[in-house]
């Protein structure tokens, strides 16, 4: 009884704060094999941490009177209190252990399924926290290495369309390139290269002295990803385009913003030079 109570206290203190009840037993279909392996590892480590906490840290501090009958009454009252507390914790922990065990079982099922294993050979899931006899220590499952990729993976057609538009720009076909980049941005909204597509469309239109279109393109690039790699240069070129449109005050404010947002970069240096040439305040 005491061992079950101690295990219940430890499991409650460890799992209850982050537990969301039976709903937490549902595993998203979007999880990868690495996600499932990592979650299993975390659960196994938690079980081992709970086992280490089963040892006591000192003598219990219970103040009891020294008189005979008074001492007996106090002992009975304390025993009743502890018994009631034990039953409450046992009930609450039984629910948590059941949910945790179901969760591990579901993860094991998904893991075997993803690895192409035989589901019929999947045995019963070990109860979270162990039974009365402590089972052997489970070995945490190490997640497979995750390849180091520079960013989101592109679909083949998306990359091909972007490369086609870039080739047109490199070949000096500015208008065709601008149209191709505009079509790309409309076809793949939210894609990882959309900000760069807007930026390059701005360059293509600027080479044609289409400053109105260029300003819009640079603004689209910056506003779409204000912290992206093209953001400093897009904001600087937006200032240049605004000045070409005769909007000097707006150009000065935009160029000043480059230095404030991206100090020390090459775009900030170019922006400060442009502000000096425009005699910006």
Q: Do the beta carbons of residue 69 and residue 37 sit within 8 Å?
A: no
Q: Which residue has the tokens 């690495």?
A: 34
Cβ atoms of residues 119 and 113 within 8 Å:
yes
- The CA distance from 181 to 201, in Å, is 6
Q: Whole-angstrom distance between the N-terminal and C-terminal Cα of the chain?
A: 80
Whether 252 contacts 240, CB under 8 Å: no
Domain 156-277, what fold? Answer: 1.25.40
Residue 237 phi/psi, 5-degree rounding, is -70, -25
Provide φ and ψ at 155, rounded to 5°: -70, 155
Query: Domain boundaries in the chain?
Result: 2-121, 156-277
- Provide the whole-model pTM: 0.47
pLDDT in tens, the chain (281 residues): 444 444 444 443 444 444 444 444 444 455 666 666 666 666 666 666 655 555 555 555 556 555 556 766 777 777 788 888 788 877 777 777 777 667 666 666 666 666 566 666 666 665 555 554 444 444 454 444 444 434 445 667 889 999 999 999 999 999 999 999 999 999 998 889 999 999 999 999 999 999 999 999 999 999 888 989 999 999 999 999 999 999 999 999 999 999 899 998 999 999 999 999 999 98
Are the C-beta atoms of 158 and 145 separated by less than 8 Å? Answer: no
Q: List C-alpha distances in Å: 74 to 63, 86, 90.
A: 9, 18, 24
């Amino acid at each position: 009884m005491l061992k079950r109570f101690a295990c219940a206290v430890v499991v409650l203190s460890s799992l209850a704060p982050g537990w969301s009840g039976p709903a937490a037993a549902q595993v998203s279909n979007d999880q990868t094999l690495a996600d499932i392996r990592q979650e299993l590892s975390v659960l196994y480590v938690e079980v081992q941490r709970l086992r280490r906490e089963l040892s006591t840290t000192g003598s219990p501090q219970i103040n009891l009177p020294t008189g005979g009958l008074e001492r007996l009454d106090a002992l009975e009252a304390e025993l009743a209190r502890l018994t009631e507390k034990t039953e409450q914790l046992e009930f609450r922990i039984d629910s948590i252990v059941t949910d945790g065990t179901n969760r591990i079982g579901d993860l094991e099922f998904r893991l075997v399924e993803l690895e192409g294993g035989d589901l019929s050979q999947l045995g019963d899931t070990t109860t979270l926290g162990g039974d009365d006899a402590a089972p052997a220590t489970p070995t945490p499952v190490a997640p497979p290495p995750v390849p180091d990729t520079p960013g989101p993976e592109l679909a083949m057609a998306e990359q091909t369309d972007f490369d086609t538009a870039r080739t047109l720009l490199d070949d000096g076909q500015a208008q065709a390139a601008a149209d191709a980049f505009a079509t790309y941005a409309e076809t793949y909204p939210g894609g990882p290269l959309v900000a760069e597509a807007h930026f390059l469309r701005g360059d293509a239109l600027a080479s044609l002295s289409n400053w109105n279109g260029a300003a819009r393109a640079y603004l689209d690039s910056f506003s779409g990803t204000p912290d992206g790699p093209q953001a400093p240069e897009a904001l600087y070129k937006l200032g240049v385009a605004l000045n070409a449109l005769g909007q000097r005050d707006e150009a000065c404010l935009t160029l000043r913003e480059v230095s404030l947002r991206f100090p020390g970069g090459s775009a900030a240096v170019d922006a400060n030079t442009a502000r000096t040439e425009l005699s910006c305040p």
